[in-house]
Amino acid sequence: MSSSTRATPTREVRALRIVQAKDSPLYIFMLRADEILNFADISRVSRDEAGKLIGYQRPQVRKHIQEIVEYLDSDVPIFPNPIIMALAPEVTFRSTRGGNRHPDDGVSDTGRLTIPLPEAGKTKPAWIVDGQQRALALSRAQRRDFPVPITAFVADTVNLQRDQFVRINNTKPLPRGLVTELLPEVDSPLPARLAIRQAPSKLCDVLNTDNSSPFVGMIKRASMSGNLPSRAVITDTGIVAMIQESLTSSSGCLYPYRDIGRGETDFDSIIKALIIYWSAVRDVFPEAWGKPPEKSRLMHKAGILAMGRLMDRILGTVDPLHEDAPERIRQHLALVVPHCRWTAGTWDDIGHNWNEIENVTKHVQELSNYLIRIYHSTRRELM
C-alpha cells in the first residue's frame, strides 16, 4: 500500500457521550498519564509577528507542577479532577448500546471514541483547555500508567477553545492579566462581570498596537511572558482599570461615548480621546514617561489611575476631538506639573516619598484627590 493511501493510525477508548446541545456532544473517557501530551498540545498565549493573539494558556508554573508530581508519586494519590480537552473534528464515536446497563435516555450513551493519532510533523488531535499544570505533572510522574479522567468537546477553532478557557477559569485564581488579554478575543456573549471588562480590554489592545498611541508597545500583556520588550513597562490591568472607571462612571469623560439604551459605544472617539490626552501627559512629563514603575510612579498602576481621574476632569472641560485639543490639554496639565513627584522628592500634603506610592486604595485615592485639588485650585487662581 502506498504512503498516499495509508490509513491514519488511531487510538480507540471507551467513552460516555453526553449531548448537552445539538451537534455539540461532550465525551468523558480515560487516558494513561503518559498518553496525554502525546494526544494533546498545550496552547500557551502568545502573539504572532503581526501582533495577533494566539493560544490561551498561562505560562507553566514550575513550583506548582513539582508539587503535583510529588503528590502523584506518593503512596495513595487520588486524581479526581479531569483534564479538559478540545478535540479535532476528525474524532468519531460509535455507540455500543448492548453494553449499557440502562436504556438510552436520549441524553447519554456509552460507546467507543476513535481519536486519530498524531503523525510526525503534524498537529496533534487535541488541545488542553484546562489542566495544563496537571498534564505536565502527569507527564513527569513515575507512574506512567496512572489513569486520568478526560472531559472533551469537539472544537476546530481557537476561538471556541479560548471561549471555553475563559469561562472554565472564570472562578479560579487565573492571572488577571491573562483574562484581561483574552477577553477581546471572545466573540460569544459573556457573563455580565466579564462583559463589562471586555470593552476596556479591547481599547487597551488598540492603545498597545496603534502606532499613533503614546502607549504603543509599552503595555505588559500575559502573552509577552518571558519575552518582554524593554519598553513594556505598564501593566495592562492598570490601563484597563483606568478606562473602565471612566467608561462606567457617569462622571467619567468616556461615559458620554456610550449609548446605553442602544447598547452601542463610539470606540473611535474613545480611542482618539485617550491618545490625545495621554500623548499630552507624555509631553508634559518627558522625564517620567516610559520608565519602569520602580523608577517612575507615573508608569505605576497608581499613577495611571490617578492621572486617569484627572483626565475625567480635564476632558470634561476640553473637547478632545476639537482641533486645538492637544495644546489646550497640555496647558491644563501644566497646572499640576510643578506639584508632581513621579521620579524624586516627596508629595506635598500627601507626605509620601515618590517611591512609596503603591497600588492600594488609600494611596490611589490620596494621589487622585491631590492632583484634582491642585488642578482646580490653580485654575481658580488664574481665572
pLDDT digits (tens, 9 = 90+) for 81-95: 888 888 888 888 988
Query: Is residue 227 domain-shared with residue 197, that is, in the same domain?
Result: yes
Query: Is residue 134 domain-shared with residue 205, that is, in the same domain?
Result: no
Query: Is residue 307 domain-shared with residue 355, that is, in the same domain?
Result: yes
Q: Are 127 and 54 in contact (CB under 8 A)?
A: no
Instruction: Check whether 311 has a pLDDT greater than 90.
Output: yes
102 against 41, higher pLDDT: 41
Query: Is residue 212 domain-shared with residue 153, that is, in the same domain?
Result: no
- Paired with 108 in beta bridges are 18
State which of 70-79, 104-113, 335-344 shows the largest mean pLDDT: 335-344
Query: Is residue 195 domain-shared with residue 152, that is, in the same domain?
Result: no
Query: Is residue 127 domain-shared with residue 152, that is, in the same domain?
Result: yes
- Triad 71, 75, 80: Cα angle to 5°: 55
Among 168, 190, 214, where does a domain finish? 168
Query: Is residue 195 domain-shared with residue 274, that is, in the same domain?
Result: yes
Across 211-215, 222-226, 254-258, least confident range: 222-226
Among 145, 168, 191, where does a domain finish? 168
Query: Is residue 126 domain-shared with residue 97, that is, in the same domain?
Result: yes
Predicted pLDDT at 43: 62
> pTM to 2 decimals?
0.56
Query: Is residue 157 domain-shared with residue 188, that is, in the same domain?
Result: no
Range of the domain at 365: 176-382
DSSP β-ladder status, 53-54 and 46-47: antiparallel
Eight-state DSSP code of residue 201: H
Eight-state DSSP code of residue 45: -
Predicted pLDDT at 226: 55
Q: Cell 488664574 sits at which residue?
A: 382
Query: Is residue 292 domain-shared with residue 260, that is, in the same domain?
Result: yes
Among 129, 150, 168, where does a domain finish? 168
Short-list 310, 307, 297, CA closest to 376: 310
106 against 17, higher pLDDT: 17
Overall number of domains in the chain: 2
Q: Are 271 and 323 in contact (CB under 8 A)?
A: no
Nearest-angstrom CA–CA distance, 334 and 139: 59
State which of 63-77, 163-177, 250-264, 290-304 shows the largest mean pLDDT: 290-304
DSSP β-ladder status, 108-116 and 10-21: antiparallel
List all residues 6 or more positions away from 172 whose beta carbon is below 8 Å from its beta carbon. none
Query: Is residue 136 domain-shared with residue 247, that is, in the same domain?
Result: no
Eight-state DSSP code of residue 212: T
Query: Is residue 162 domain-shared with residue 202, that is, in the same domain?
Result: no
